[in-house]
Structure 1
Amino acid sequence: MAKATVTFEDIGVTVTVPAGTRMIEISEKVGAGIVYGCREGDCGTCLMVVTTGADDLSEPSVLEDKILREIMAGKNNRLACQAQVLGGEISVRPA
C-alpha cells in the first residue's frame, strides 16, 4: 500500500500514513492545530495551508471546491476534512 509523509509545521511533527487517509484524521491523532466545526455545522473551519506537496493530495471534490470559493480561500488552501493523501511528502499548517 502506498504511503505518504505528512508534516504539521505548527507543531513540528512528521508522520507516515497510508494513502487514502484524510488530513483531518491525521491532524487529530498528532494533536496539530487544524480545528474543525463540521459536527457543529460550521463548515470551512478546518481550512489548512498546503506549503509542500499539493499534488500529493486528492483533487478537491465539488463540495470542497464550492466551500473554498464561498470562504474566498487562497489557492494553497484545502479543507482538511476533504483532502486525502495520495503519497509523497506533504507539509501543512493551519490557515
Structure 2
Amino acid sequence: MAKAQLTFKDIDLTLTVPVGVRVIEISDKLGSGIIYGCREGDCGTCLMKVDEGWSNLSTISVVEDKILRENSAGKHHRLACQAQVLGDVTVSPA
C-alpha cells in the first residue's frame, strides 16, 4: 500500500498515512484544529489551508468547488472531508 506524509502545521505533527485517506479521518483522531460538522462536503466547517503539497491532494469535485465558493475560500483552501491525500502535504486550520 502506498504511503504519504501528512503534516498538521497547527499541532506540529507529521504522520505517514495511506494514500487515498481523507484529511478529516486523520485530523479528527489527532485533535487538530480542523473541525467538521457533516463529513459530506456540503457544510464547509472543515475548511483547511493547504500550506504545502497542493498538487498532492485529490481533484476538487463539483460539490466541493460549490461549497468553497459559497464560503469565499482562498486560493489554497480545501474541505478536509473531501480532500484525499495522494502525496506529501502540509495543512492547517483555515
The bucket for the TM-score relative to the shorter chain is: over 0.9
Question: How well do the aligned residues superpose, as a CA RMSD in angstroms?
Answer: 1.2
Structure 1: 5+ residue stretches without partners: none
Shift, 1:38, TM fit: 1.3
Residue identity (%): 67
Structure-2 separation of matches of 1:64 and 1:13: 26
Query: What is the TM-score when the length of structure 2 is the normalising length?
Result: 0.93
Shift, 1:33, TM fit: 0.8
One-letter amino acid matched to 2:75 = K
Which 4+ residue blocks in structure 1 deviate beyond 2 angstroms?
none
CA contact (8 A) 1:13 1:30 kept: no
The 5-angstrom pairing of residues 1-95 of structure 1 reads 1-38=1-38, 43-87=43-87, 89-95=88-94
Structure-2 separation of matches of 1:29 and 1:55: 24
Structure-2 separation of matches of 1:29 and 1:3: 18
